[in-house]
Amino acid sequence: MEPITVLGLISFIPAIVILYFVLGEFEAYFKDNKAFFMIILGLGLGMALGFVSLFFDLLDFLEALLVIALIEVIKFFILFQRPFRLNHDSTFYGLALGTGIGAMVVFVYSYAVGTFWIGEDILLDLRTGLFFFLISYNYTLVNGGTGAIIGYGSYLGDFWLYLGKGFMISGLHGLMMTMVWTWVVMENFIGAFLVMIVGSVYATAILYYIYTKVIPESIPKELKEKVQKVEEDGKD
């Protein structure tokens, strides 16, 4: 298997973990087919957005912000539509949408970097694999998190406030990633790895917040009690 293909596959690992462990735990509270559709939609949009972002200079924070704004506005536009407005499960669909977008954007980046920057001399060693895993971990968790937050805002009917929150979260992360790409170009890999580790902690904190705060608040008390009763009856 070609090294670039392996790196592309690595970019999907964080997405699989999120979808299996986070969405899987709450599958009783949303429709599987709708979540699957949002994942596929996210992957398609992520591919398009990934290629579009290649025309921007991601070493420039202002240009990176434009890409971030485009991604968050697209999430907002989708989750603002009638099937999602004021529905509790929009949080889950936003998480699925954002996770798909983040994973596919990194997939595009892995091929672009491998093809145009590293070329045929790419070396699939531990450092390279870890680098792409951390990049994917950062982008996937942050995009999934902001998707969930925007979806939660759609559920509450407080659209603009939660779009702003999503943009601020992604904007701060975008600043970190700008530093990463700058130091990679300067071949300061130690600095790049250190910032990616900080970004990974930041992304993990966002997902933890979604898991412990946003998702539980998205589930109506009556529905939660109904599901718990069904589960208890099934054990008897």
pLDDT in tens, the chain (236 residues): 566 677 778 888 889 888 888 888 898 899 999 999 999 999 999 999 999 999 999 889 999 999 999 999 999 999 999 889 999 999 999 999 999 999 999 888 877 766 555 445 555 667 777 888 899 999 999 999 999 999 999 999 999 999 999 999 999 999 999 999 898 888 888 888 999 999 999 999 999 999 999 999 999 989 988 888 877 776 65
Residues 6+ apart with CB under 8 A from 159: 76, 80, 153
Nearest to 91 by CA among 6, 8, 2, 158: 158
pLDDT at 55: 92
Q: What is the pLDDT of residue 129?
A: 78
Neighbours of 35 (CB within 10 A): 20
Q: Locate tokens 């946003």: which residue?
A: 214
Contact 22, 207 (CB under 8 A): yes
Taking the complete model, does pTM exceed 0.95, yes or no?
no
Give pLDDT, residue 228. 84
CB 94 within 8 Å of CB 151: yes
Which of 129, 80, 71 lies closest to 100, judged by CA? 71
Cα R_g (the chain), whole angstroms: 18
* Beta-carbon contacts of residue 142 (< 8 Å; ≥ 6 apart): 102, 169, 170, 173, 202, 203, 206
Looking at residue 53, its pLDDT comes to: 92
Start-to-end Cα distance in the chain: 50
